[in-house]
Amino acid sequence: MNYSNIRSFIHKEGYIFVGCSLGIALICLLFSSTLFWIFLVLTMCFFFFFRNPSRVVPLDKNLIVSPVCGTVCSIAFDVPPEELDLGNEKRYRVSIFLSLVDVHVNRSPADGKVKKILYSPGKYIDAGIEKSSLFNERNTVVIEINNDPSNLMSFSQIAGTLARRIVCDVHEGENLSKGEVYGIIKFGSRSDIWLPINSVPLVCVGQKVISGETILCDMSLVDVSLRDGVIVP
C-alpha cells in the first residue's frame, strides 16, 4: 500500500499506542484526575513519536534524499557487504542516528523497484556506535533506482538500545516512489544508506537531515571521480 498518498497525522503503528493510552486516560477521568493527566501526557508523547509530517519531496530523479530524520553520525567509503549484491567497487555509506525526538517514519530515498529485502537478527547496541551497523538487528532494502537494474543502492533500518521493533511495509518486486513511507523503527535507531556507485555525499557528519527532503547526493554530478575515498577533479 502506498502510504505516501494517505493523509495521516501519525503512522499506523502508533494507532494502538495512542488509542489505548487515550482510552485509559478517559477511564481514569472518572476516579482520578492525577492518573488522567499522566495518561493524557503519555498519549501526547506517543502521538509525538509516531507523527508522520508532510514532506516536500524533490522531483528531480537524480536526487537521492534521506530516508530518515536524524543526525549524520558517520560517512565511510568502502565495499558494501557481499549479501547486498551491490558489487565489489567502493562506494559511500552515510549513517544517520535517530534520537527519541526525531521522526521515526522511514521514507524511500529514490524512485525504484525493490530488488531485495534482507532481515538480520542481532543485538541492541547503542545505535550511535559504529559497530551497531554490523551487530544490531537490521532490515535492509535494496532498490533499482528509477527501475534501472544497473543502478543500485540500499538503505537499512537498524535497531538500537531502545528500538526493539522494525516495521517494513514493502516486499520484493514492489515499486517505491521517492518520499513514500515504507516503514518505521520504534524508539531510537539508526539508518545506513549505501549511495549509488560514484555518487558523492552532499551532507557532512553532524548535519541534521529531514526524511524525504534533505538531499544526500546528486547522481548527475559526473564531473568528479572517486579515488580511495577522496574526491578529485
**Is 135 strand, coil or helix?**
helix
User: When comparing pLDDT for 6 and 230, which is higher?
Assistant: 230
Catalytic site positions: 189
C-alpha 217 chain-centroid distance: 16
What pLDDT score was predicted for residue 135? 61
Mean pLDDT, range 8-29, rounded to an integer: 83
- Which of 157-161, 184-188, 190-194 is predicted most confidently? 190-194
Fill in the DSSP letter of residue 150: T
pLDDT tier for residue 67 given thresholds of 50, 70 and 90: very high
**pLDDT of 14 over the 60 cut:** yes
**Calpha distance 14→2 (Å, rounded):** 17
What pLDDT score was predicted for residue 122? 64
Q: Report pLDDT digits (tens) over 197-209.
A: 999 999 999 999 9
Q: Report pLDDT digits (tens) over 140-167.
A: 999 999 989 999 999 999 876 655 578 8
**Calpha distance 178→213 (Å, rounded):** 10
Count of CB atoms within 10 A of residue 171's CB? 9
What pLDDT score was predicted for residue 134? 63
What pLDDT score was predicted for residue 7? 47
What pLDDT score was predicted for residue 1? 37
**Calpha distance 102→104 (Å, rounded):** 6
Its pTM stands at 0.81
Mean pLDDT, range 173-181, rounded to an integer: 94
**Calpha distance 233→231 (Å, rounded):** 7
**pLDDT of 130 over the 70 cut:** no
**Is 48 strand, coil or helix?**
helix
- 173's torsion region: left (phi>0), alpha (psi -120 to 50) or beta? left
What pLDDT score was predicted for residue 216? 97
